[in-house]
């Protein structure tokens, strides 16, 4: 009898502990439920960071123009709320090569302290082909800092783009 009560007691403790751990979604899901402060236009500049072995492969054209501009490039990113997620879109920017388009990217928004973290991915279209990219960023007050990694050839050719901008 005592043995049965002991096993029933252990079983009740295990079941209640397991149910508490499984039902606590807020512990693992830090998604922000109010992203109303994020939408808007962020003006800033983007810097393209290429590994040295990739820079060596890029040759200027007949007129001396390079495919990748040196230094920061002025650009704008608009953000729009899409029910607990945010869409990022490049605005008023002319690509250095015709036929390249950057599709809007969906970002998951999480919150730590007073910082909103963005994470997601998107696609760049080059004619009929698409190239995937991922982004991670932070929004603190009105500042957006975004790191974008374009995966051309995984682990070999992955240019980075660093955007820093302020909300207008």
Please report the pLDDT score of residue 16 as a whole number: 65
What percentage of the chain carries pLDDT values higher than 70?
A: 72
Select from 49, 141, 48, 139 the least CA-distant residue to 93. 48
The pTM score is 0.70
Once rounded to an integer, what is the mean pLDDT over residues 106-127? 84
- Decide which of 27 and 50 is more confident: 50
What percentage of the chain carries pLDDT values higher than 90?
A: 2
- Tokens representing 9? 């007691």
Question: Which residues make Cβ contacts (< 8 Å) with residue 41, sequence separation at least 6?
Answer: 76, 77, 78, 79, 91, 167, 168
Mean of all residue pLDDT scores within the chain: 77
**Extended beta strands in 22-102, E state:** 40-49, 73-81, 85-91, 100-102
Please report the pLDDT score of residue 72 as a whole number: 84
100-104, 131-135, 149-153, 155-159: which has the highest mean pLDDT? Answer: 131-135
Question: Which residues make Cβ contacts (< 8 Å) with residue 99, sequence separation at least 6?
Answer: 126, 127
- pLDDT of residue 118 exceeding 70, the answer is yes
Please report the pLDDT score of residue 136 as a whole number: 92
**Rounded-to-integer distance, Cα 20 and Cα 9, Å:** 17
- Tokens representing 99? 């036929």
Asked whether 88 and 79 are in contact (CB, 8 A), the reply is yes
Select from 138, 133, 166 the least CA-distant residue to 148. 133
Per-residue pLDDT of 63-76, as tens digits, reads 766 667 677 888 88
């Amino acid at each position: 009898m005592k043995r049965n009560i002991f096993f029933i007691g252990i079983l009740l403790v295990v079941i209640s502990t397991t149910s508490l751990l499984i039902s606590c979604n807020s512990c693992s899901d830090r998604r922000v439920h109010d992203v109303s402060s994020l939408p808007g236009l962020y003006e800033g500049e983007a810097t393209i960071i290429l590994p040295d072995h990739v820079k060596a492969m890029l040759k200027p054209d007949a007129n001396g123009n390079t495919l990748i501009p040196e230094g920061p490039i002025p650009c704008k990113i608009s953000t729009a709320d899409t029910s607990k997620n945010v869409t990022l879109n490049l605005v008023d920017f002319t690509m250095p090569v015709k036929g390249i388009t950057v599709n809007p990217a969906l970002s998951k928004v999480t919150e730590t302290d007073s910082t909103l973290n963005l994470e997601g991915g998107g696609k760049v279209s080059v004619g009929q082909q698409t190239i995937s990219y991922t982004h991670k960023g932070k929004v603190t007050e009105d500042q957006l800092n975004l790191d974008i990694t374009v995966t051309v050839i995984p682990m070999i050719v992955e240019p980075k783009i660093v955007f820093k901008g302020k909300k207008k």
